[in-house]
Structure 1
Amino acid sequence: MMNTPLSRTLLAATIAGALATISMTASANLSSRFTDANGDLVADLPTDESQWINPSTLVFSYTPVEDPAVYAEVWSDFLKHMETVTGKKVQFFPVQSNAAQLEAMRAGRLHVAGFNTGSNPIAVNCAGFVPFTMMAAADGSFGYEMEIITYPSSGIETVAELAGRSMAFTSPTSNSGFKAPSALLNSEFDLVPEKDFDTAFSGSHDNSILGVINKDYEAAAIANSVSNRMLARDVINADDYQILYTSQTFPTTGYGHVYNLHPDLAKKVQNAFFSYNWEGSALKNEFANSGESQFIPITFKEHWAVIRTIDEANDVTYKCS
């Protein structure tokens, strides 16, 4: 791991070509659809009560993974708990991409969600997402690291040796799967995507990890929280891949609701997260593999500050129409 402070690393970083292709780019400014009277950087509840929504069925989605069906089962007990707390039917919505998840909330079809680290700023600014919690360990610690990995026989022993090779990212909205490694590679190793090495987008961290192991990609940037869970499920083995770089710790998936959810229902949704009993649950069995066993309160303004810094370093601006 490099000793250069992350703040200096990120502020020095620039991305020339790859970010120009992102259709929804990033900034601290909310879409004109929303207001932020209290300065907390998330959309206010509309003052016009006719704009509040109180659906008979709450739709919930978890950040895209290779096999959404696996996570439908992982979340099933939690969603039953949410049904009990809210008095609403709760439906799991499997999403195949970050863009699909963002558009679903933006279009009013998604009410409660877990957006991955890098997607949180876009979801907040463009879709009216209000994050209020994330998973943490029993002692309150939280987060994950970005890793750059390769397969053992790739001939790549250091990050600098990615020059002239190929590397997979997950999606343009992902922090550990694109934005953070892009800033790092540029500032620390003078490597620019598509200029110094070829790139591809796999769609998810699972796909990137398996793609490296199967030698579809020479290297990939991934979140180690995902690889840890795959290791625990025996989907992969530790000797299947080699870690070239490990970053500082970042906040993990942020969970929240759409901004115009009826405030009484929004409070019940929040209570569902904070009152959930993890013991013996499929949720604990899955996420204990990355050291997580509770939901803790968070704010977008405080806990996503480092991610907004990464976006600024990458010269990314949100354009929400």
Structure 2
Amino acid sequence: MKKYLKRVGLSIAALSVAMLAACGGSEESTTEISSSQAEPSTEEVEDDIDRTGWPEKFVYGILPTEDQAELTKQFDPLVDYMENILGIEFELFVGNDYNALIEAMRNGHLHASGFGPFSYMLAHERGNAEAFAMGVEDPSAATYNAIFITLEDSGLESLDDLEGKTIAYADPASTSGHIFPKGMLINHLGLNMDTVDDHFSYVTFSGSHEASLYSILNGDVDVAGVCDVCIERVFERVQDHPNFDKLKIIAESDPIPRGPQAISMDLPENLRELVIHAFHEMHNDPEATAFLEESGYSAFIPAEDSAFDIIRDTAAALEMSAEDLLK
């Protein structure tokens, strides 16, 4: 994202809000990645598998995009790869939003999914989900940023210019598309949860980071809070838009841990271990790498629940509970 969008001012850091410091966290705490998840050896994976207690099919959750053909192109290699390893059907469940994925996991209809960092906290609390992997383009970069984007001719130069403007967030439970941008506004402008929405003339949830990007490109809103790497992944699809070259960043958050892949702890242990192993070794499979490339990753690295304590701290600082987000 940063190589495409223009930045405002001498230093974007001057516009950043110290979310992590305000919540008692540190950059180190956001990048705590562990390989302690149990991984079966290659020999174990190749042996006959005891499927006692396994579901008839493994259901994996995803969110919709603007283009269903892109979903098929992205996830078909994953389906083929996982079915070959598990020996059972690997089905995709398209949820309308993160809450739909969380509820599906809580009710036993969903077995694993990718989540944003904040929605993962809810999935862990409500759906007995456990983080096990994190998709990264560079294995040494396990964080990303929330950013505010607008168009050059909007007249907006910083967060100080947003009073009375229109804003789009991605999803109520989105870490970088709602929670952190809202926290940035609260901290930078001296607002609180009761007054932050009233600072704008119009507030909407677009449903996804891509939809928020289109809201900016099409002039539907003045500013949007989105994830930098999420938007970067769809640039090829939007670079011909007439307003593409007018996009710019006016504020950026401190580093956020990337969203994890999470699996239901209600599943049999050997099934969980096999899925975890498959994700961690995906970069070694020539066909599965097509899924990684379409997702903007080079590999899935191990992750564990404690890496997301900073998200819990941020939620507490913003007085946002699981109950608030699941209403």
TM over 0.5: yes
Q: Among residues 281, 295, 300, which one is paired with 1:287 in the alignment?
A: 295
Give me the whole-angstrom Cα distance separating, in 1, the residues matched to 2:95 and 2:68.
7
- The answer to whether the 8 A contact 2:60-2:90 is kept is yes
8 Å Cα contact 1:9/1:183 also seen in 2: no
Give the match for residue 183 of structure 1.
183
- How big is the alpha-carbon RMSD for the aligned residues of Structure 1 and Structure 2? 2.4
* CA distance, structure 1, for counterparts of residue 80 and residue 127 of structure 2: 26
For the residues of structure 1 that align with 2:224 and 2:148, how far apart are their CA atoms?
Answer: 6
Supply the distance in 1 between the matched residues of 2:53 and 2:220 (Cα, whole angstroms): 45
Q: Is the 8 A contact 2:19 2:180 kept in 1?
A: no
| Structure 1 position 159, deviation (Å) | 1.3
Q: Would the alpha carbon gap of residues 4 and 89 (structure 1) be closer, same or farther in structure 2, given more than 3 Å must change? A: closer
Q: Is the 8 A contact 1:167 1:200 kept in 2?
A: yes
**Aligned equivalent of 2:156:** 156
Q: For structure 2, which runs of at least 5 residues remain unmatched after alignment?
A: 1-12, 25-35, 37-51
Tell me: CA distance 1:278–1:150, structure 2 relative to 1, closer, same or farther (3 Å): farther
CA distance in 1, matches of 2:204, 2:56: 41
Q: What is the TM-score with the length of structure 1 in the denominator?
A: 0.79
Letter aligned with residue 123 of structure 1 = A
Task: Read off the aligned partner of 2:321 and give its amino acid letter.
Answer: T
2:85 is matched with: 85
Which residue in the other structure is 2:309 paired with?
A: 305
Distance 1:241 1:278 in 2: 37
> How far, CA to CA, are the matches of 2:230 and 2:107 in structure 1?
28
The equivalent residue for 2:322 is 318
Kept in 1: contact 2:139–2:301 (CA 8 A): no
Report the secondary structure of 1:65's partner residue: coil
1:4 positional shift: 6.0
Q: CA deviation at 1:202?
A: 0.9
Within a 5 Å distance, the mapping from 1:46-57 to structure 2 comes to 53-57=53-57
1:271 to 2:277 alignment: yes
Would the alpha carbon gap of residues 5 and 242 (structure 1) be closer, same or farther in structure 2, given more than 3 Å must change?
closer
AA aligned to 1:93 is F
- 2-structure distance, mates of 1:184, 1:300: 24
- What is the DSSP-based 3-state SS (H/G/I as helix, E as strand, rest coil) of the residue aligned with 2:266? coil
* Structure 2 equivalent of residue 174 of structure 1: 174
1: distance between equivalents of 2:140 and 2:285?
Answer: 15
Do structure 1's residue 9 and structure 2's residue 22 form an aligned pair? Answer: yes
Residue 94 of structure 2 aligns to a residue whose secondary structure is coil
1:229 Cα offset (Å): 0.8
- In the alignment, what sits opposite 1:250? 256
Matches of 2:239 and 2:268 in 1, distance apart? Answer: 41
**Structure 1 alignment gaps of length 5 or more:** 12-39, 41-51
User: Residue 155 and residue 228 in structure 1: after superposition, are their counterparts in 2 closer, same or farther (change >3 A)?
Assistant: same
Distance 1:125 1:210, change over 3 A: same
Please say if 1:231 is aligned against 2:235.
yes
Give the match for residue 29 of structure 1. Answer: none
Offset, 1:134 = 0.6
User: Of residues 189, 197, 203 in structure 2, which corresponds to 1:199?
Assistant: 203
How many aligned positions are there? 278
Shift, 1:6, TM fit: 3.1
**Alpha-carbon shift at residue 193 of structure 1 (Å):** 2.5
Distance in 1, matches of 2:171 and 2:21, equals: 25
User: Is 1:230–1:236's contact at 8 Å kept on the other side of the alignment?
Assistant: no
Q: Which has the higher helix share?
A: 2
Instruction: Give the CA deviation at 1:274.
Output: 1.4
